[in-house]
Amino acid sequence: MQASRRKFIKGLSAASALVATQGLARPLGFNYIPNLKKVSPNDKIRIATIGMGIQGNYDTRAALRNPDVELVAVADLYQGRLDTAKTAFNNPDLFTTRDFREVLARPDVDAVLVVTPDHWHDHITIAALKAGKHVYCEKPMVHHINEGKAVIDAWKKSGKTMQVGSQRISSAAFQEAKRMVQAGDIGAINYIESNNDRFNAIGAWNYSIPPDASAKTLDWDRFLGDAPKRAFEPKRFFRWRNYRDYGTGVAGDLFVHLITGVHFVTNSLGPNRIFSSGNLAYWKDGRDVPDVMTSIMDYPKTDQHEAFQMVLRVNFANAGKIQNVTRIIGNEGQIEFSEDNLILTKKKLPLAPGYGNYDSFFTFTPEVQQEFVRKYDAQYPPESRSAEPVKEVRFESPKDDDAHAKHFGDFFKNVREGSQGTIEDPVFGFRAAAPVLACNESYFDNKVVYWDPVTMTKTTGAAPAKKTGTPVKKTVATAKSSAKKS
């Protein structure tokens, strides 16, 4: 796989020097020239979308809900989507191509939306930044952990604006949750749980396949890219999320939204220990990714928050009542929220612990009970024995709250200002992507993955703490048992 990837990248780099734009021949040895044109506050921002599938269409429409934004080009590997784009966006003269490099060579393109299968994210993003384009890249930013720093490096060197597309953090509910956590409304966080369950075929990525899908109507070889070569199989093209060669499974599609939201709300840099388990329970249709997965992550203490544990779950075979929420739990309350609403419940313990009922107090002799009460009364005055009343605060997002358009709005604002400081820049995006990719690594390799969220690198994990007590004499049997466990 690594040899295939190196060969592919080498070929991609060589091909980058031979961009052929429709109607314009390029001399041999032509290289991308960065688009250094500044976008003034009064100019339209001209965008191009690379990947006109489901999310590509949704992203493009969300982008166009912002003022002074114009779609000038689209790229996709399936001809039907290129033809549909001209009617869907009411522009029969819209530039369309199967080769994304033709889009990058256009001087009228200010920014590109990279909405391709995951295994193309890093390649196209880096090429676009080198071509002088601003980039909006869908989540997860990369397909493999070792690709993240190259994207970050290309972004920093380009000076261009880049936004990663996990748009929920731009919703009013997520922003209110962040305000509450930072205000200390729930005390010190100790546990977070979040789930995203489904039980329908389309939700499980079994998207419709057009009857005209063939090696003539779509570019199968270009789709494969650096993935293993195989014969044409339309199911893999149109349902790519089901396969590890092109997608990142439930973790990369859904966990990344949950982790992005938690990082945004808590100001966390990420976990340092990740473990996953799960199985393929229902959708046994040839896919090689699980449809049920649970991941446990340990977040270390920082100057922004106490140490906490996070548990994420996706179940595509949940035939019960589905309630997809995120719960952030602290020692003084909890926040339960979705994209559109939020409930804050404040609940503090009294200072006095109390006694009686299911307690050891009744097992004392009467004399000891009297002595206990005397000392208790001296230590805890009456005002310390009752808790504050439970308080519940509900927040509903405004009906016109458009998180998707607002996420693009932040991107375009920074493009106009010449800033790289978006709400979800590549460093933030990689710190959200890396843990979900580690979830997959843990699941498929059946191991704990250790991660340094500050340096953004994998580690071998902390050395085990020394145990106290009488050492156990290791026999041959216990040595073999230890070896198996390790």
Calculate mean pLDDT across residues 79-87. 98
Q: Output b/e per residue, 303-323; b: 16+ Cβ within 10 A.
A: eebeebbbebbbbbebeeeee
Q: In the structure encoding, which two tokens stand for residue 311, read together?
A: 């548990």
Architecture of domain 45-168: 3-Layer(aba) Sandwich (3.40)
Structure confidence at residue 43 (pLDDT):
85
Calculate mean pLDDT across residues 380-408. 95
Q: Torsion over CA of 49, 52, 55 and 60, rounded to 10 degrees?
A: 40
The 10 Å Cβ neighbour count of residue 327 is: 16
Structure confidence at residue 60 (pLDDT):
98
For 4, the enclosing helix (H) or strand (E) is: helix 2-15
Asked if residue 147 has pLDDT above 60, the reply is yes
Tokens 């349902």 correspond to: 239
Asked if residue 470 has pLDDT above 90, the reply is no
pLDDT band at 12 (very low <50, low <70, confident <90, very high): low
Calculate mean pLDDT across residues 374-387. 96
Structure confidence at residue 40 (pLDDT):
59
Single-letter residue type at 305 = H
- Among 3.30.360.10, 3.30.1600.10, 1.20.1730.10, 3.40.50.2300, name the CATH number for the domain at 172-400+425-458: 3.30.360.10
Calculate mean pLDDT across residues 103-114. 98
Structure confidence at residue 338 (pLDDT):
75
If one compares 95 and 486, the residue with the highest pLDDT of the two is 95
Calculate mean pLDDT across residues 199-226. 98
Q: Where are the domains of the chain?
A: 45-168, 172-400+425-458
For 56, the enclosing helix (H) or strand (E) is: helix 54-64
Structure confidence at residue 432 (pLDDT):
98
Distance CA 138, CA 424 (A): 11
pLDDT band at 461 (very low <50, low <70, confident <90, very high): confident
Structure confidence at residue 8 (pLDDT):
47
Distance CA 47, CA 72 (A): 6
Structure confidence at residue 104 (pLDDT):
98
Q: What percent of the chain lies above the pLDDT cut of 90?
A: 84
Asked if residue 164 has pLDDT above 60, the reply is yes
Task: Kindly report whether the global pTM for this prediction surpasses the value 0.85.
Answer: yes
Asked if residue 468 has pLDDT above 80, the reply is no
Distance CA 43, CA 30 (A): 29
Strand partners, 162: 135
Calculate mean pLDDT across residues 321-341. 91
Max Cα-Cα span within the chain: 101
Instruction: Find out whether 124 and 97 touch, Cβ atoms under 8 Å.
Output: no
Asked if residue 22 has pLDDT above 80, the reply is no
Structure confidence at residue 475 (pLDDT):
38
Tell me phi and psi for residue 194, to 5 degrees: -150, 140
Closest CA to 317 of 420, 207, 410, 197: 197
Calculate mean pLDDT across residues 54-71. 98
Calculate mean pLDDT across residues 159-166. 97
pLDDT band at 38 (very low <50, low <70, confident <90, very high): low
Helices (H), 74-194: 79-88, 100-104, 121-130, 148-158, 172-182
Asked if residue 13 has pLDDT above 50, the reply is no
Strands 326-330 and 333-337: antiparallel
Peptide bond into 290 cis (omega under 30): no
Fold agreement between 45-168 and 172-400+425-458: no
Helix (H, G, I), strand (E, B) or coil at 170: helix
Helices (H), 218-360: 220-224, 234-238, 249-250, 256-266
Name every residue whose Cβ is closer than 8 Å to that of residue 425 and which is 6 or more positions away in sequence.
155, 162, 163, 164
264-287 pLDDT per residue, tens: 999 999 999 999 999 999 999 999
Distance CA 124, CA 114 (A): 7
Give the DSSP letter string of 366-424.
HHHHHHHHHHHHHHS-GGGSSPPPPEEEEEE--TT--HHHHHHHHHHHHHHHT----TT
Instruction: Find out whether 14 and 390 touch, Cβ atoms under 8 Å.
Output: no
395-410 pLDDT per residue, tens: 999 999 999 999 999 9
Calculate mean pLDDT across residues 407-424. 97
For the chain, the average pLDDT equals 89
Calculate mean pLDDT across residues 146-154. 98
Calculate mean pLDDT across residues 433-457. 98
For 481, the enclosing helix (H) or strand (E) is: helix 476-485
Structure confidence at residue 463 (pLDDT):
47
Give the DSSP letter string of 430-458.
HHHHHHHHHHHHHHHHTS-EEEETTTTEE
For 106, the enclosing helix (H) or strand (E) is: none
Structure confidence at residue 462 (pLDDT):
60
Q: What percent of the chain lies above the pLDDT cut of 70?
A: 86
Asked if residue 42 has pLDDT above 70, the reply is no
Structure confidence at residue 479 (pLDDT):
41
Strand partners, 457: 452
Asked if residue 306 has pLDDT above 50, the reply is yes
Calculate mean pLDDT across residues 454-475. 62
